[in-house]
Amino acid sequence: MADSSFEPEVSRSLRRIACSFGAPMESIAIECKRESGKSIAFSRINNDQVEALLAFERKPFTMKMRVAASVGGKSRFKSKTGFDFLYCGIGKGFVLVNFRATKKSAGEAINRCFAVRIGAFVTAEESTERKSLPLDWFVENAVELERIRWKIKDKFVYGWDLLPLFTLPN
């Protein structure tokens, strides 16, 4: 099930980059996970998601964006794109983990976001007996993304500074 706060923040952040930094950038693929505790279970990212991110780093990606209208004329999937296909060159695959907890759920309030390349995530899973990665692992091995606020029309919105994802070395 999609997260109602983290995924929209990432989406807004990507749109902000697209509108503000018109220069061509490398393609990226992101799997978003929000965690209310201080570790994330490896099982939260299923094998299909891992394989798709790894494939994105090995070969170009093509995807149909919209499904034709079903009988009765209603679209089976909601889509904001007005085109049919998307093609991206080889890029970088990331897992973004938002450790977001209230004082009640974790003992202290936290709202930190980390980006880790899919290869590093897989290596971490393969090299441990643990069933999860703790927040401390992300602090030491991932890129922490800064929380940002900007104005859209007359309203302030929040998101994450995703520019470091485009500048990380391969």
Whose tokens are 């978003």? That residue is: 32
For 91, the domain range is: 6-66+84-167
Q: What percentage of residues in the chain have a pLDDT greater than 70?
A: 82
pTM of the model: 0.83
- Average the pLDDT over 39-67 and give the result: 89
**Nearest CA among 133, 134, 115 for reference residue 123:** 133
Dist. CA 65–CA 159, nearest whole Å: 24
Dist. CA 125–CA 139, nearest whole Å: 16
For residue 164, give both structure tokens: 């470091």
Q: What is the pLDDT of residue 1?
A: 46
Task: Examine residue 110 and state whether it is found in any structural domain, yes or no.
Answer: yes
pLDDT in tens, 111-160: 999 999 999 999 999 999 999 999 999 999 999 999 999 998 899 999 99
Task: Examine residue 78 and state whether it is found in any structural domain, yes or no.
Answer: no
Secondary structure (3-state) at 167: helix
Dist. CA 61–CA 63, nearest whole Å: 7
Question: Are the CB atoms for 32 and 160 separated by under 8 Å?
Answer: no
Task: Examine residue 108 and state whether it is found in any structural domain, yes or no.
Answer: yes
Comparing 37-41, 44-48, 79-83, the range with the smallest average pLDDT is 79-83
Task: Examine residue 152 and state whether it is found in any structural domain, yes or no.
Answer: yes
Give the chain's mean pLDDT.
Answer: 85
Total number of domains constituting the chain: 1
For residue 105, give both structure tokens: 């759920």
